[in-house]
Amino acid sequence: MNNLLYKIFFRFQNLNYINSGFKKVEKDTEVRQIFNAIGAFSKNSEIRYVGGCVRKIINREVVDDIDFAVNLKPKEVCDALNKKNIKYYESGVAYGTITALINNIKFEITSLRKDIDTDGRHAKVEFSDNWKEDASRRDFTINSIYADIKGSLFDPFDGKKDLENGKVDFIGDVEVRIKEDYLRVLRYVRFFLNYSKDKHNPKVINAIKRNLSGVLAISSERLLDEFQKLLKSKGFSKLAKDKDCLEIVNLIFPQFKNISMFGKLNNFAEKNFLKVDFIFLISLMVIDGTDNADYFIYKFNLSKKDKKRLLFLNSFYSEKFTNKIFLENKLNKIFYFNGREALMDIIYFKIFKSNKVDNKLIKLIEIFKEKKIPKMPFKANMLIQKYQFLEGKELGKKLEVIEETWVNNNFNISEKEIQKIVSN
């Protein structure tokens, strides 16, 4: 009898924390407006939370994005939002997705659907009003859980149970699921490292390996976007110790030659791992003294800003230098000519790559974090007026020497030094 009461009490507590999680989402965001807009559209219209936000609430994680499934077609969703003056844009209308925007928070609303045809990258879909049909086309059981605004679950594939038991299972036939969208290979790695309490199923690993060539046909943007989710997830630290996951990632991203370094970071790197940005972490993996960084940039579509940043770091660490370069007066030149971000990248790169943390480098971070990039106080007019210099190439050369001396001397230069440069 006591055992039965304990089970009932535990089940109540279990459901209670889930309901509390959804109440918090309702309190912290404007989801009520979305539910009201869809609910008011017709007597049969219905919307539910789905995917990541449900999974994270059940697993007591922080909810950082909110997705919905709805039994309306995309045009009807737009009409429903228009009636309530909710802004939106058609982010993926061909696949049934409308993104609502309230107080700068994005809410993805996707119509129930079934896949008519897939090629591993794109799918032709048909919209539906069948919740079970929509669930059956999703990738993993833990991603096929729906919830209403109060947190009542619709869980046709027992995803909640799998999540609680640490089981990462594909829905249906593994090979079919992968061939529908090859990106699911990387998603498997992410979910396995984050949620699994089991060993890999050999059938899953073999199916993945048979289909790796399909992954390489996916656009570089989608691959990097999915890898970024893995990189910033709590499970990423387990990658270096998981032979199968590491092999899969290495086969998809052979340019990430230093990826295993993340399995043995120093204390500073561990504490700051989630604070540094994606491109910096990429640089740690691809810069190895060869042309590997150039090949990565060639293969993956980066912004001009990110390319420039990666190439600068690669160029700096391709040079042979001693630790004397990491002195304030030596780094001033980089700070002045290349900016704060470039300088911080150099220092952080050095720290992340080190087995032990050099406190002098930590001090340099604090110095340059507060330091303002000074403006060159000496102009051509000064040399012309004070030293009767004529305009021309010679004037430009003198100014460059003055500027370099000023930078190397911690942005200071005496009148005597200027006179010496001018007279030579």
pLDDT band at 123 (very low <50, low <70, confident <90, very high): low
pLDDT tens string 162-172: 999 999 999 99
Please state the separation of Cα 422 from the chain's center in Å.
Answer: 52
Helices (runs of H) and strands (runs of E) counted in the chain: 22, 9
C-alpha distances (whole Å) from 328 to each of 117, 274, 315, 353, 368 are 60, 27, 20, 20, 9
pLDDT tens string 66-75: 999 999 999 9
C-alpha distances (whole Å) from 190 to each of 63, 109, 179, 196, 226 are 17, 23, 18, 10, 9
Whole-prediction pTM value? Answer: 0.85
Mean pLDDT of the chain, nearest integer: 90
Cα gap 392→215, rounded to integer Å: 58
Whether 151 and 19 have beta carbons less than 8 Å apart is answered as yes
Residue with tokens 């051509």: 380
Question: What single letter denotes the amino acid at residue 101?
Answer: L
Classify 158 in phi/psi space as left (phi over 0), alpha (psi -120 to 50) or beta: left
pLDDT at 351: 96
pLDDT tens string 192-219: 999 999 999 999 999 999 999 999 889 9
Q: Is the pLDDT of residue 5 over 50?
A: no
Both tokens assigned to 411 = 């942005």
Q: Is the pLDDT of residue 266 over 90?
A: yes
Classify 127 in phi/psi space as left (phi over 0), alpha (psi -120 to 50) or beta: beta
pLDDT band at 413 (very low <50, low <70, confident <90, very high): confident
CATH pick for 1-166 out of 3.90.1150.10, 2.60.40.10, 3.30.460.10, 3.30.70.20: 3.30.460.10
pLDDT tens string 338-388: 999 999 999 999 999 999 999 999 999 999 998 898 888 877 887 777 777
Which CATH code is given to the segment(s) 173-253? 1.10.3090.10
Same fold, 1-166 and 173-253: no
Least confident range of 103-117, 165-179, 245-259, 300-314 = 103-117
Write the secondary structure of 152-190 as one string of H (helix), E (strand) and C (coil). CEECCCCHHHHHHHCCCCECCCHHHHHHHECCHHHHHHH
Q: Where are the beta strands (DSSP E) in 51-203?
A: 66-70, 87-92, 97-102, 105-111, 113-118, 123-127, 146-147, 153-154
pLDDT tens string 33-81: 999 999 999 999 999 999 999 999 999 999 989 999 999 999 999 999 9
- State how beta strands 113-118 and 66-70 pair: unpaired
Residue 273's nearest CA partner among 289, 284, 288 is 284
pLDDT at 8: 43
Element (H, E) at 50: strand 47-50
- State how beta strands 87-92 and 97-102 pair: antiparallel
pLDDT tens string 86-100: 999 987 777 789 999
Whether 190 and 174 have beta carbons less than 8 Å apart is answered as no
Whether 403 and 378 have beta carbons less than 8 Å apart is answered as yes
Whether 35 and 84 have beta carbons less than 8 Å apart is answered as no
Residue 118 or 382, more confident = 382
Kindly list the domain boundaries of the chain, sorted by start residue.
1-166, 173-253, 259-373, 380-423
Provide the 10 A C-beta neighbour count for residue 74.
21
Cα gap 323→3, rounded to integer Å: 66
What is the end-to-end Cα distance of the chain in Å, rounded?
A: 100
